[in-house]
Structure 1
Amino acid sequence: MNTVKILALPLLVAVMQSPACLSVTVSSSKPKVEVHEHTDAVLACEFKTEKDQNPRIEWKKKGKGVTFVYFDRKFSGSYAGRAKIEGATLTIHSVTQKDSGEYRCEVTASEDHVNLGETSVSLNVLVPPHVPSCEVPSSAFAGSDLELLCKDKLSVPPATYRWYKDNKALISSTDTSYSMDTHKGTLKLKSVSKADSGMYRCESSNSVGAPKSCVAQQLKVIEYQLSLKTLIAGGVGLFLLIFMCCLGLCLCRRRGCCKNEKKAKSTKAYSPSPPPPPPTRNLKNYKQTQSFMI
């Protein structure tokens, strides 16, 4: 047993002094960051090296490709002039939605055996509601179905929606003739009537800022002078009348009624006129002429 301990002690000392233990370590105390738009975002990055006291620090942002944020001890692109670095921690001033994404902190210690360490930090920029775009038809016929649309594409997290009619909030239930989707922003009106006429507006909201509403728009429901059933019955009757006329005309042609009438008209129109009578001659004068000739 003592022999095993004696052999293990030098092995442990050798492992501790091995170059493989000399490596840079990189971590973040806050790997997920959420901040409001136009505020400062602090992306924490802590590192530790075994030998190298002046490692190289780089920040990159992942997206469709990889772009440099901090490289060769200076900021690049849109980060120049609005970011700072302390140790390896990155601070971005007045962030916008374009700054959201995943960032990577890389520390290179050339004197360490494992000379590269990295950690990732995700940044989510929260955006308050914007004025939504609302689609409300100006008029509709009574009895038709309508769908009103509302959308705010800029808010983060995504907005939820609420519809108002004449400044009164609409609450969908099984007893109402309409239905709402608070996530898609749709308001569906079934078989509208005169009572559905009014001023409609939509409001978008999320957990970041105050709700925003679009300008109210007028919806006018036009009632038919005749009921829908009457119009359908009239249309069917007109169709049957036209159909019966066409059917009667076809039967008449098949039986030859139309052909005989046409033939009689054509015969009468083109009958040749009788030849004019020959001119009459005066026989008395004719005889006198013959007598004169003799």
Structure 2
Amino acid sequence: MNTTTMLVLPLLVITFLHSPVCLSVTVSSSKPKVEVHEHTDAVLACEFKTEKDQNPRIEWKKRGKAVTFVYFNHKFIGSYAERAKIEGATLTIHSVTQKDSGEYRCEVTASEDHVSLGEATVTLNVLVPPHVPSCEVPSSVFIGSGLELLCKDKLSVPPATYRWYKDNKALMATGDAPYSIDVHKGTLKFKSVSKADAGMFRCESSNSVGAPKSCVAQQLKVVDYPLNMTILIAGAAGFVALMLFCCICVCVCRRRGCCKKSKKTKSTKPYNPHPPPPPPSRNIKHYKQTQSFMI
């Protein structure tokens, strides 16, 4: 080591020790994603460290369509006032519901630090077990017609999947089955129902949070078309066929010239603009003989 290096090193150490250090608050969360069941407590962890400020300001906000305060000026705001507490900067919300799901932000302001603001984000997801789904099953349907049964559970988190039962037997949409099932939308579709499709139908919703829930089974009847309906359909079909036949006949007749109008023959009698005067009337008068004539 040369003499120049030995002189420079002490100078660098002295300069580092006497130079001002940029002091800043640091904020973090040991659990940035929290999942809890509905009606339980949610703990949103927030840890901070300051260099100088011993009494920093702590705030909690929830981000949605707009940012709303949860904890501000050493007190809870709105609905959180009766069901939340804070220890250090860690927030605990009691008896959470689906409305509490969202993104929360912990902000710590240390005015005496060089960088005075630090923040950490925690995402809360409230899990909801399945609810009794709403099931739409018609009481009767005509044989040969299409059919769609509906099932929906709008409240469960994560979203429910669905299973249909007929006469308490689970339906499986195999390749040769006369129906199709969408386990995510909850639909059961028939292209053409038959007498064998009649029975008691119910739907079950389930997710990973709680026990499955089922709606009350409903009776589905498959009936034949009534006689008057059959007659009406046959009459309508016959009327349509008759109208079509008439249209074809008219078209053929026009093509062959059968429908042309016959021209009227003109009269051969000459037209006289000055008709002759009527013959004079004959007035017969009786004369008496007054003289005799001799030849």
| Interval containing the TM-score (normalised by the shorter chain) | 0.7 to 0.9
Kindly tell me: are residues 157 and 249 of structure 1, through their superposed partners in 2, closer, same or farther at Cα, counting changes over 3 Å? closer
Letter in 2 for 1:70: Y
* Cα distance between partner residues in 1 of 2:249 and 2:208: 73
1:221-266 Cα distance to aligned partner (Å, 9 max, x none): 122479xxx9988755542323445777897994679xxxxxxxxx
1:130-187 Cα distance to aligned partner (Å, 9 max, x none): 1111111222111122111111110001101000111111111102111111111111
Q: CA deviation at 1:206?
A: 0.6
Kindly tell me: are residues 231 and 172 of structure 1, through their superposed partners in 2, closer, same or farther at Cα, counting changes over 3 Å? farther
Higher helix share: 1
1:193 touches 1:223 (CA, 8 Å); kept in 2? no
What residue in structure 2 maps to residue 8 of structure 1? 12
Say which SS state the counterpart of residue 154 (structure 1) adopts: coil
* Cα distance between partner residues in 1 of 2:24 and 2:82: 33
* Cα distance between partner residues in 1 of 2:250 and 2:180: 53
1:35 touches 1:126 (CA, 8 Å); kept in 2? yes
What residue in structure 2 maps to residue 50 of structure 1? 51
What residue in structure 2 maps to residue 164 of structure 1? 165
Q: CA deviation at 1:7?
A: 3.3
* Cα distance between partner residues in 2 of 1:172 and 1:60: 48
What residue in structure 2 maps to residue 59 of structure 1? 60
1:48-85 Cα distance to aligned partner (Å, 9 max, x none): 11111111111000001110000000000110110000
Most deviating of 187-196 and 239-248: 239-248
1:194 touches 1:223 (CA, 8 Å); kept in 2? no
* Cα distance between partner residues in 1 of 2:156 and 2:48: 35
1:96-115 Cα distance to aligned partner (Å, 9 max, x none): 00000000001111111111
Aligned length: 252
What residue in structure 2 maps to residue 87 of structure 1? 88
Kindly tell me: are residues 30 and 256 of structure 1, through their superposed partners in 2, closer, same or farther at Cα, counting changes over 3 Å? same
Q: CA deviation at 1:6?
A: 2.7
Letter in 1 for 2:11: L
Say which SS state the counterpart of residue 210 (structure 1) adopts: coil
* Cα distance between partner residues in 2 of 1:46 and 1:244: 88
- Give the TM-score of the pair, scaled to structure 1: 0.78
Matched, 1:154 2:155: yes
Q: CA deviation at 1:194?
A: 0.5
Question: Where does structure 1 differ by over 6 angstroms across 4 or more consecutive aligned residues?
Answer: 230-234, 246-253
Matches within 5 A, 1:181-260: 181-224=182-225, 236-245=237-246, 254=259
* Cα distance between partner residues in 2 of 1:45 and 1:193: 62
What residue in structure 2 maps to residue 34 of structure 1? 35
What residue in structure 2 maps to residue 173 of structure 1? 174
Say which SS state the counterpart of residue 7 (structure 1) adopts: helix
Letter in 2 for 1:78: S
Structure 2: unaligned runs, 5 residues or longer? 263-295
* Cα distance between partner residues in 2 of 1:181 and 1:85: 45
What residue in structure 2 maps to residue 74 of structure 1? 75
Most deviating of 241-250 and 151-160: 241-250
What residue in structure 2 maps to residue 139 of structure 1? 140
Most deviating of 41-50 and 241-250: 241-250
- Aligned residues: CA RMSD: 2.7
* Cα distance between partner residues in 2 of 1:207 and 1:41: 19
Letter in 2 for 1:181: D
* Cα distance between partner residues in 1 of 2:248 and 2:8: 115
1:41 touches 1:95 (CA, 8 Å); kept in 2? yes
